[in-house]
Amino acid sequence: MNKAELIEAVAARTGTSKVAAAEAVDAFLDAVIGATAKGDKVAIAGFGNFSKGHRKARTGRNPQTGATVKIKATDYPKFSAAANFKDIVSGKKKAAAKPAAKKTTAKKAAAKPAAKKTAAKPAAKKAVKKAPAKKAAKKK
């Protein structure tokens, strides 16, 4: 599942437009990335924890030449899945099926103005005459 498919799934599940779902997904991702970059731990119950990890500076080897290389210290994002998430992925538990988004009631539907439907007129087909094929000159 990519980001566009996630947005479609959120829109279908919540009964909102794709634009609103895209804004919600983007806001969520920005909040998680921003907090993790600052060093805060983001814990989502039943899903997992996002945190910032740190690797110390070290020496390594270039596999082609065998020469030693200095590797700089760096920070990286870490994710650890919650036990419930792990159990569902491994098949120990089944994911709880939640009901789909509520549909609008008759009162809400009546309050919204009906969208104008314009019938698309079929384009007129024009007869296209093909030019007769030219015969190739015979070689002697």
One DSSP character per residue, 116-133 reads P--PPPPPPP---PPPPP
* pTM of full prediction above 0.85: no
Q: What is the reported pLDDT for 95? A: 75
Domain boundaries, the chain: 1-38, 41-94
Q: What is the reported pLDDT for 57? A: 96
Q: Answer whether residue 40 shows pLDDT above 80.
A: yes
**d(Cα 127, Cα 109) in Å, to the nearest integer?**
47
As a whole number of Å, the end-to-end CA separation of the chain is 66
Helix (H) / strand (E) containing 81: strand 74-81
Burial of residue 36, with CB atoms counted within 10 A of its CB: 0-12 exposed, 13-18 middle, 19 or more buried? buried
pLDDT confidence tier of residue 112, bands split at 50, 70 and 90: very low
Q: Token digits for 9?
A: 């799934």
Q: Token digits for 39?
A: 């060093």
Q: What is the percent of the chain where pLDDT is above 90?
A: 64
Helix (H) / strand (E) containing 72: none
Q: What CATH class does 41-94 carry?
A: few secondary structures
> Distance of CA 28 to CAs 12, 21, 31, 55, 68, Å?
17, 11, 5, 27, 42
